[in-house]
Chains A and B, each alone.
Chain A
Amino acid sequence: MIKTDALIIGAGPTGLFTAHQLKLIGLNCEVVDNLDKVGGQCIELYPDKPIYDIPAIPECTGEELTKNLVDQLKPFNIKFHLNERVDEVKNNKGTWQVKTNKGTEFSTPNIIIAGGVGSFEPRKFAPKECEKFENKSIFYSIKDKSIFKGKTVSIFGGGDSALDWAIELSKGSKINLIHRRDEFRGAESTVQKVQDLAKEGKINLFTKYQLKDTKGSNSLESIDIMHDNKEVKNLKTDYVLGFFGLIMQLGPIVNWGLNLDKKTINVDTEKFETNQKGIYAIGDICSYPGKLKLILSGFHEGALAARACFKLARPNEQYRFEFTTTSKNLKNRLGVKSD
């Protein structure tokens, strides 16, 4: 059981800056995120797209913004729990008991939800029958590529994940690569490589096709794919891989007794606290009159929520507002010299 002054759920820009604010005012914190890296939507959805409305930064990409926020956290020692999703939140005599899907447990007076639009989960195939084969013969990510050796693998998707795996697995497996249109969105050299392998007969390419049906009772035997013109083909296959990117799901947050408004959480604008004492929501996931879904709003919300955390984490101390330009305390925490 990890004891901490505040637990931040979500390592997007809002969560990262809030960690900075908490450490600056002398509280410790831990951060949990379902992705395998920090940066949230900035890094997952638009790493290369320029952003023009971060105060004092005329232009930066999602990746650069993330890097700068991480740099800003350098003076502090913050533990990140990546690839973990918070599943359970329970109150025990005023303290929150939190458990992740990997079994990590936290005990904290403060939970700050900076979850964006929820956690990123892989997008799945449309046909319902696919569920029964999931994690047996149908996968949305690959943990152990050795299982595909000598087998027939049907890969769906048109981006880098689909293409990279098609190339990699074509070394030891029979590959069908199926995509809904003729154009691929992967890197140019990767697309070229796939086309070369298709010419050599190492990859069977099916474009303008999508998955229609799966066949097989206990184990997957074959799939039906349908062309834009409705023509159906049956492909014998041992495994199916789907790479359609990620979608954000609110997930377990709906079970924590919070006041929800569609996919957002209602908060006040003083502490950004939810209807549960000690649980705050900031960034895209919170809603209040006038809410703007901008990164800069998330920074403000995080700064205020961090101050609210102080009261519950240090009930016998008085929080004192200080500036980083002048405060010796803050400079000590930042590891910079005082004049």
Chain B
Amino acid sequence: MAKITYIEHNGTSHTVEVKKGLSVMEGAVQNNIPGIDADCGGSMACATCHVYVKEEWFDKVNIKLEGEDDMLDQAYEPTKHSRLSCQISVTDDIDGLIVNLPEKQ
């Protein structure tokens, strides 16, 4: 289990335990955290699970696969800390991860 904190755009914070092996997107969906739509179900095909990884965590999560930046081009207000949460795997190394959610997907 890893503790992950999702902070909605309005500041509401949700800290949940997510099982190892899931994605950060699945952690949000299973815990009914608003703000992550994941329309395509996690196949890196839609950019509706877009999150901003907190700066100090950005280099600790697994790196982007080819194609993720192409999808992020379509995301709403992407920044250099943008990731698709379906592509971030939950491991012991990211226990304590903090992600901010965009204003909309």
Binding site for B on A (CB under 8 A): 41, 45-46, 49, 117, 123, 126, 157-159, 179-181, 183, 185, 210, 228, 244-245, 247-248, 263, 284, 293
B37 touches A244 (CB 8 A): no
Known: A126-B76, A126-B77. A181 touches B69 (CB 8 A): yes
Kindly identify which residue among A49, A179, A228 contacts B80, using a CB–CB cutoff of 8 Å. A228
Q: Tell me which residues across on chain A come within 8 A of B37, comparing CB atoms.
A: 263
Contact with A along B52-88 (1 / 0, CB 8 A): 0000000000000000011001101111100000000
Q: List 19 A-B contacts (CB under 8 A).
A: A45-B40, A45-B45, A46-B43, A117-B40, A126-B76, A126-B103, A157-B73, A180-B78, A181-B69, A185-B70, A185-B73, A244-B73, A244-B74, A245-B74, A247-B48, A247-B74, A248-B48, A263-B39, A284-B41
Kindly identify which residue among A45, A158, A263, A293 contacts B73, using a CB–CB cutoff of 8 Å. A158
Q: Tell me which residues across on chain A come within 8 A of B79, comparing CB atoms.
A: 228
Main secondary structure of the interface of B (DSSP, over half): loop
| Residue B99 CB within 8 A of the other chain | no
Kindly identify which residue among A126, A181, A245 contacts B47, using a CB–CB cutoff of 8 Å. A245
Instruction: For the complex, give the distance between the alpha carbons of A293 and B41 in Å.
Output: 8
Q: Tell me which residues across on chain A come within 8 A of B45, comparing CB atoms.
A: 41, 45-46, 49
Q: Tell me which residues across on chain A come within 8 A of B103, comparing CB atoms.
A: 126
Q: Tell me which residues across on chain B come within 8 A of A158, comparing CB atoms.
A: 70, 73
Q: How many residues of B contact A (CB 8 A)?
A: 20
Q: Measured between C-beta atoms, what is the minimum distance from B26 to chain A in Å?
A: 13
Q: Tell me which residues across on chain B come within 8 A of A284, comparing CB atoms.
A: 41
Instruction: For the complex, give the distance between the alpha carbons of A263 and B105 in Å.
Output: 14
Instruction: For the complex, give the distance between the alpha carbons of A181 and B47 in Å.
Output: 16
A159 touches B41 (CB 8 A): no
B76 touches A123 (CB 8 A): yes
Instruction: For the complex, give the distance between the alpha carbons of A123 and B105 in Å.
Output: 10
Instruction: For the complex, give the distance between the alpha carbons of A126 and B103 in Å.
Output: 9
B48 touches A159 (CB 8 A): no
Q: Tell me which residues across on chain B come within 8 A of A263, comparing CB atoms.
A: 37, 39
Kindly identify which residue among A45, A49, A180 contacts B46, using a CB–CB cutoff of 8 Å. A45
Known: A46-B45, A245-B47, A248-B46. A180 touches B39 (CB 8 A): no
Q: Tell me which residues across on chain B come within 8 A of A183, comparing CB atoms.
A: 69
Q: Tell me which residues across on chain A come within 8 A of B76, comparing CB atoms.
A: 123, 126
Instruction: For the complex, give the distance between the alpha carbons of A183 and B43 in Å.
Output: 22
Known: A41-B40, A180-B78. A247 touches B73 (CB 8 A): no
Q: Tell me which residues across on chain B come within 8 A of A181, comparing CB atoms.
A: 69, 73
Instruction: For the complex, give the distance between the alpha carbons of A158 and B75 in Å.
Output: 12
Interface centre among A157, A179, A183, A244 (most CB of B within 10 A): A244
Q: Measured between C-beta atoms, what is the minimum distance from A40 to chain B in Å?
A: 12
B70 touches A159 (CB 8 A): yes
B74 touches A117 (CB 8 A): no
Instruction: For the complex, give the distance between the alpha carbons of A179 and B70 in Å.
Output: 12
Instruction: For the complex, give the distance between the alpha carbons of A179 and B80 in Å.
Output: 13
B41 touches A123 (CB 8 A): no
Interface centre among B45, B69, B73, B79 (most CB of A within 10 A): B73
Q: Tell me which residues across on chain A come within 8 A of B105, comparing CB atoms.
A: 247
B77 touches A123 (CB 8 A): no
Q: Tell me which residues across on chain A come within 8 A of B78, comparing CB atoms.
A: 180, 210
B43 touches A159 (CB 8 A): no
Instruction: For the complex, give the distance between the alpha carbons of A309 and B18 in Å.
Output: 43
A248 touches B73 (CB 8 A): no
Q: Measured between C-beta atoms, what is the minimum distance from A119 to chain B in Å?
A: 12
Interface centre among A228, A245, A247, A248 (most CB of B within 10 A): A247
**Closest B residue to A292 using CB positions:** B41
**Closest A residue to B82 using CB positions:** A180
Instruction: For the complex, give the distance between the alpha carbons of A261 and B43 in Å.
Output: 22
Q: Measured between C-beta atoms, what is the minimum distance from B74 to chain A in Å?
A: 4
Instruction: For the complex, give the distance between the alpha carbons of A53 and B79 in Å.
Output: 35
Q: Tell me which residues across on chain A come within 8 A of B73, comparing CB atoms.
A: 157-159, 179-181, 185, 244-245
B39 touches A117 (CB 8 A): yes
Instruction: For the complex, give the distance between the alpha carbons of A157 and B40 in Å.
Output: 21
**Closest B residue to A46 using CB positions:** B45
